[in-house]
């Protein structure tokens, strides 16, 4: 029997167990269709492994099977989490959780099942009445004093995906030791009969409008210049939620800040898990912003903002002096926000010696320059806002958090929520647009000023998609090859430093020295630094079937007039680096 035949035999045996009466009729019918099909691709992809409850929860394609998002994989995750909560908080008279969800297909269904399972385990549940932004769930956990929370969302993934994010009592996504302990409890669920699906409605409280008000009131406190908004309250802001949850709160937050001229993209205000007007509901993707840009051209808007389906990521398009609209990337969004927060705090006399900012290791090093040049401490952490939240947790009460972000269009301006937040980020970006206009500037002017003061950098992110079982194996091999045969040069510059977060070794190729890096755990990330200050980071995605490359290069920029030339030089260097990497 060859390998393929053996695999088909194994997945068939596994799938046949899903034909029992323990599973609902719809699931049984779908599994039977896969078993009966001549082409076994769907069967293999649905059953070749169990959908893993990883350090961030679950994320996968919806459908029947052990490797799919469905009521049984969601149920097992929730039962395992409930079992661990009862162990971790055994001394509490009552354990409570918040459950939220986005606009995706099946999200409400999964959220209600999660609520039922928690309640059936004697846990009090606060269930949002309808879809809400992810950061509001994080806020609600802290605001209500809950021990945990679950959000049903697959963020900006394609429409066939859904996901399950687990949160701890501080409002952050779970990290050690809780992540490993929860995974252990989830893995102990061996049969659907162990999942308590029959909820106790007396344990479920519906929340919504009041939590919205409390969250928006907290976001309003982040405003650093309400007077400048009064002077420019009528700036034209185009906003699109790209069919997602942001439609609930972001226009209201902008009005709450004092902005009066919010221009909608009506077709994209319609909440839909099918995301009908875009190929990808991701503000990183230029095509997702196309309708908003058209609306801005029609109306002469000053700036365009977007949020992804669960409203934790922000997209931004600025209008230059020629009236052209330009997308700015995630690194630039973080730079603009942190620069404003630091500068404005200084103007107000609020900057303190123990203030700090946070960025992820794959985010631009220009942020470190901004922080250093303003006497503000900067911390590096792993990709993902759970790690930014970990820094906040560790410094709570001893230092003031000013803000933190990552290149993937995420920013957190507050500590009252502990996950990236486009509601507060867009509100502050609108304030920055007014602040710039008050000074006869626009976002591009501000960006150029930042580069002139802190050095020019240009960044690009490249994702190489490899789907399915063979794709996962190919990604593993690529990482292995980079470790065994690291590049000696990148874009004509000599590689002088390698950081491998899998073993936390930093190797200086100039003298051969190896030192240990101080990080809370290991991670499958490689970084190469050149003698020309270029940085290349390589990591497999934890949530999607892809391997990601983050390239950052420098170029000379002495005046604003050098900006276009610096970009052109940087792009040439990036193309050379891509060629060296074989991507």
Question: Could you say which of 155, 307, 457, 534 is catalytic?
Answer: 155
Mention every residue, 6+ apart, whose C-beta is less than 8 A from residue 403.
Answer: 337, 338, 341, 357, 358, 411, 412, 413
Could you give phi then psi for residue 391, rounded to 5 degrees? Answer: -65, -45
In this structure, which topology does domain 233-453 adopt according to CATH?
Answer: Alpha-D-Glucose-1,6-Bisphosphate; Chain A, domain 3 (3.40.120)
Q: What is the pLDDT along the chain (583 residues), one digit of tens a residue?
A: 678 889 999 999 999 999 999 999 999 999 999 999 999 999 999 999 988 887 678 999 999 999 999 999 999 999 999 999 999 999 999 999 999 999 999 999 999 999 999 999 999 999 999 999 999 999 999 999 999 999 999 998 899 999 999 999 999 999 989 998 999 999 999 999 999 999 999 999 999 999 999 999 999 999 999 999 999 999 999 999 999 999 989 999 999 999 999 999 999 999 999 999 999 999 989 999 999 999 999 999 999 999 999 999 999 999 988 889 999 999 999 999 999 999 999 999 999 999 999 999 999 999 999 999 999 999 999 999 999 999 999 999 999 999 999 999 999 999 999 999 999 999 999 999 999 999 999 888 999 999 999 999 999 999 988 877 778 888 989 999 999 999 999 999 999 999 999 999 999 999 999 999 999 999 999 999 999 999 999 999 866 678 999 999 999 999 999 999 999 999 999 999 999 999 8
Residues 134, 418: Cα–Cα separation, whole Å = 10
* CATH class of the structural domain 49-213: alpha beta
Are 49-213 and 233-453 equal in CATH topology? yes
Residues 193, 371: Cα–Cα separation, whole Å = 54
- How is the chain split into domains, by residue range? 1-48, 49-213, 233-453, 457-581
Question: What is the token pair recorded at 298?
Answer: 């029609």
> Cα 275 from chain centroid?
18
Is residue 46 annotated as part of the catalytic site, yes or no? no
Residue 55: what pLDDT? 65
Nearest to 499 by CA among 357, 363, 361, 372: 361
Residue 541: what pLDDT? 81
Residues 426 and 254: beta-carbon distance below 8 Å: yes
Nearest to 432 by CA among 291, 558, 328: 328
Question: What is the token pair recorded at 74?
Answer: 């969601």
Strands 377-381 and 355-360: parallel
Q: Among all chains, which residue has been given the structure tokens 């309250």?
A: 233
Q: What is the pTM of this model?
A: 0.95
CATH of 457-581, one of 1.10.3470, 3.30.1070, 1.10.1060, 3.30.310: 3.30.310
């Amino acid at each position: 029997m060859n390998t393929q035949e053996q695999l088909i035999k194994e997945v068939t045996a596994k799938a046949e167990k899903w034909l029992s009466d323990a599973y609902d009729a719809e699931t049984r019918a779908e599994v039977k269709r896969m078993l009966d099909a001549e082409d076994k691709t769907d069967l293999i992809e649905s059953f070749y492994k169990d959908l893993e409850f990883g350090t961030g929860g679950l994320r996968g394609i919806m459908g029947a099977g052990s490797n799919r998002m469905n009521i049984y994989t969601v149920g097992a995750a929730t039962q395992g989490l409930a079992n661990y909560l009862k162990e971790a908080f055994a001394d509490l008279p009552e354990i409570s959780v918040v459950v939220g969800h986005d606009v995706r297909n099946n999200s409400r269904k999964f959220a209600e099942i999660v609520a039922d399972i928690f309640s059936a385990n004697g846990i009090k549940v606060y269930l949002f009445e309808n879809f809400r932004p992810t950061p509001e769930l994080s806020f609600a956990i802290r605001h209500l004093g809950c021990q945990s929370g679950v959000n049903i969302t697959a963020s900006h993934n394609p429409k066939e995906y859904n996901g399950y994010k687990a949160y701890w009592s501080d409002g952050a996504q779970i990290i050690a030791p809780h992540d490993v302990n929860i995974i252990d409890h989830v893995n102990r669920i061996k049969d659907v009969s162990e999942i308590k699906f029959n909820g106790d409605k007396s344990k479920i409280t519906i929340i919504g409008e009041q939590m919205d008000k409390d969250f928006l009131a907290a976001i309003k406190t982040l405003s650093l210049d309400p007077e400048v908004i009064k002077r420019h309250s009528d700036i034209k802001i185009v906003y699109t939620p790209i069919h997602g949850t942001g439609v609930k709160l972001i226009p209201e937050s902008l009005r709450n800040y004092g902005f009066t001229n919010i221009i909608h993209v009506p077709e994209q205000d319609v909440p839909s898990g099918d995301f009908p007007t875009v190929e990808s509901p991701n503000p990183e993707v230029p095509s997702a912003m196309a309708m908003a840009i058209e609306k801005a051209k029609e109306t002469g808007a000053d700036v365009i903002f977007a949020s992804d389906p669960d409203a934790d990521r922000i997209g931004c398009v600025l209008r230059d002096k020629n009236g052209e609209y330009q997308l700015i990337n995630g690194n630039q969004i973080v730079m603009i926000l942190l620069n404003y927060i630091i500068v404005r705090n200084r103007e107000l006399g609020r900057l303190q010696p123990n203030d700090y900012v946070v960025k992820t290791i794959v985010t631009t090093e220009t942020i470190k320059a901004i922080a250093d040049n303003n006497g503000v401490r900067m911390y590096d952490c792993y990709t993902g806002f759970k790690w930014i939240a970990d820094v906040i947790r560790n410094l709570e009460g001893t230092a003031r958090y000013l803000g933190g972000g990552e290149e993937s269009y995420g920013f957190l301006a507050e500590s009252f929520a502990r996950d990236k937040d486009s509601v507060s980020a867009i509100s502050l970006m609108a304030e920055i647009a007014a602040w710039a206009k008050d000074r006869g500037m626009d976002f591009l002017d501000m960006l150029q000023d930042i580069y002139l003061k802190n050095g020019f950098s240009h960044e690009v992110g490249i994702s190489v998609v490899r789907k399915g079982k063979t794709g996962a194996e190919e990604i593993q091999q690529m990482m292995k090859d980079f470790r065994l045969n690291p590049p000696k040069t990148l874009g004509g510059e000599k590689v002088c430093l390698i950081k491998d977060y899998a073993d936390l070794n930093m190797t200086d190729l100039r003298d051969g020295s190896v030192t240990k890096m101080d990080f809370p755990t290991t991670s499958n990330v490689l970084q190469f630094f050149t003698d020309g200050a270029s940085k290349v980071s390589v990591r497999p995605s934890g949530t999607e079937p892809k391997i990601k490359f983050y390239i950052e290069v420098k170029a000379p920029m002495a005046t604003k007039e050098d900006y276009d030339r610096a970009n052109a030089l940087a792009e040439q260097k990036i193309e050379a680096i891509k060629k060296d990497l074989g991507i």
